[in-house]
Amino acid sequence: MRALDDGSPARALERRISDASAGGARRYAFGVARLACSTSGLKDARTLEVALGGLERYPEIDDLAHLWDLERRLDASCARQVGGDPVDFTQEELLLHPACQEARAVSAVIAALMPDAFVAARGATREARAAGCHQADLDSTASDLL
């Protein structure tokens, strides 16, 4: 990922997140998590339910355990698909493999649950990018929710 300079769209989005209310940042985090699920084609009903519910129906411990287990299984599948440790591959190479995209979408949902709303929004954004979301889609989600 290129460095964030002051004029970059990613830096502008970061400023929007920082300037948002905590509630706005949280809504954005879950909106981005839903976007990542959609972009990646993730079909896991439980993960989608958590992403759609946001904090209106805070997930139970078994929901969290399911998310973590699913992320772990998808990460392992990603490693098999790429033929090695995913950290050794570029973002473009990882996007060619569905399990890699889906793993990052699950990570976006997990990130949206972080206790600090601003950390949640930044983490969900980072994972959504890794799941294949385009900057324009992230900006559109921010326009709708921040």
Residue 102 has pLDDT above 80, yes or no: yes
Closest of 9, 3, 50, 5 to residue 133, by C-alpha: 9
| Tens of pLDDT, residues 36-82 | 999 999 999 999 999 998 877 777 889 899 999 999 999 999 999 99
- Helix, strand, coil % over all residues of the chain, rounded to 5: 75, 0, 25
DSSP 6: T
pTM of this prediction?
Answer: 0.89
Q: Report the C-alpha gap between 59 and 51 in whole angstroms.
A: 10
* Distance separating the N- and C-terminal Cα atoms of the chain: 24
